[in-house]
């Protein structure tokens, strides 16, 4: 007969005590939320999913019509500049941080990397302190910049979000250029086949004196040998529409 140690018994008792009741079921409040004392919805990327007419849904993509109790997809935000904010209260280091363009990649937290040739542009130089994006109805994602030719964003083969250099249209082979969707009043998604949301990944190596800046990656369930996201945390990306005339930078570096 196997005997449980007192510590193990105490832990088991504590786990049972933490469970709550939702109708006939018990649930862990760290993983689920109970609606109307009868419907359980999971907590995904720190968001307790809402309930509408028999379905759990994310407010980053859907809305529930109160009169018919039916789901509808939020309207897409196309052609209008926007910025992104990280949302996951469980990841306190990144929750509420901006998505920033730095060194050819979109990362989480910290200042935006930008440049403007002041000797040619002068007072017309944008402030360059925010990362402004624009989604197109074709699924392409652009950086809202002044530089001739613009800068296009894309998914790299490892799932990171990168953008072209100024004065260059080069995108590495195997990259994914479309599938980006921004929802007005909601969130930002990549909707290729097998897409499984965004994750925030802490830096593998942190140079001395450098601030902690997480990387942004898109997960994909169909890529067996893709980017290893161990130690990464699922996050949502909140869309905040900017004035239509907004230009984020002359160019992002």
Same domain, 105 and 204: yes
Q: Which of 50, 73, 96 is the last residue of a domain?
A: 73
User: Cα(34)–Cα(54) distance, rounded to whole angstroms?
Assistant: 13
Residue 131 lies in a domain: yes
Q: Give me the pLDDT at residue 158, please.
A: 86
Are residues 59 and 109 located together in one domain of the fold?
A: no
Partner residues linked to 64 by β-bridges: 71
pLDDT of residue 1: 40
Would 200 be classed as within a structural domain? yes
In this structure, the answer to whether residues 102 and 59 fall within a common structural domain is no
**Residues 56, 133: one domain?**
no
- For position 219, what pLDDT does the model report? 86
Enclosing domain of residue 52: 6-73
Which value, to the nearest 10 degrees, does the dihedral of the CA atoms of residues 75, 200, 203, 145 take? 0
What's the predicted TM-score (pTM) here? 0.88
> Are residues 61 and 175 located together in one domain of the fold?
no
* 123 and 63 belong to one structural domain: no
Question: For the chain, how many structural domains are there in total?
Answer: 2
Asked, for residue 1, whether it belongs to a domain, the answer is no
One domain for residues 25 and 126: no
Examine residue 107 and state whether it is found in any structural domain, yes or no: yes
C-alpha gyration radius of the chain: 22
Task: Give strand pairing partners of 153.
Answer: 141, 163
For residue 106, the cross-strand partners are 101
Instruction: Extract the residue ranges of the chain whose pLDDT is less than 70.
Output: 1-17, 204-212, 222-229
Report the pLDDT value the prediction gives residue 196, as an integer from 0 to 100: 85
C-alpha torsion angle, residues 228, 229, 230, 236 (rounded to 10)? 180
Q: What pLDDT is attached to residue 14? A: 46
160 lies in a domain? yes
Do residues 60 and 135 both lie within one domain?
no
Q: Does 139 lie in the same domain as 40?
A: no
Does 169 share its domain with 110?
yes
Do 65 and 179 share a structural domain?
A: no
> Same structural domain for residues 47 and 139?
no
Which residue from 177, 139, 138, 137 is spatially nearest to 156, judged by alpha carbons?
Answer: 177
Instruction: Give a yes or no: residue 23 inside a domain.
Output: yes
Q: Decide which of 26, 42, 73 is a domain's last residue.
A: 73
Assigned domain for 133 exists? yes
């Amino acid at each position: 007969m196997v005997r449980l140690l007192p510590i193990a018994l105490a832990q088991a008792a504590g786990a049972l005590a933490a469970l709550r009741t939702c109708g006939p079921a018990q649930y862990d409040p760290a993983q689920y939320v109970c609606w109307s004392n009868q419907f359980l919805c999971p907590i995904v990327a720190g968001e307790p999913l809402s309930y509408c007419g028999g379905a759990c849904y994310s407010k980053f993509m859907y809305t529930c019509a109160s009169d018919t109790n039916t789901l509808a997809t939020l309207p897409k935000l196309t052609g209008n500049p926007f910025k992104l904010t990280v949302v996951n209260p469980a990841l306190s280091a990144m929750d509420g941080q901006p998505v920033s363009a730095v060194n050819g990649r979109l990362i989480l937290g910290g200042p935006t990397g930008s440049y403007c040739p002041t000797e040619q542009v002068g007072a017309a130089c944008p402030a360059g302190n925010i990362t402004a994006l624009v989604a197109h109805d074709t699924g392409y994602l652009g950086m809202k910049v002044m530089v001739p030719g613009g800068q296009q964003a894309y998914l790299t083969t490892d799932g990171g979000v990168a953008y072209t250099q100024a004065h260059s249209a080069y995108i590495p082979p195997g990259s994914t250029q479309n599938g980006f969707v921004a929802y007005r009043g909601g969130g930002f998604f990549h909707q290729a086949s097998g897409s499984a949301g965004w994750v925030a990944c802490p830096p593998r190596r942190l140079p001395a004196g450098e601030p902690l800046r997480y990387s942004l990656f898109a997960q994909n369930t169909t890529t067996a040998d893709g980017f290893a996201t161990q130690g990464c945390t699922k996050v949502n990306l909140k869309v905040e529409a900017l004035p239509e005339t907004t230009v984020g930078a002359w160019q992002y570096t």
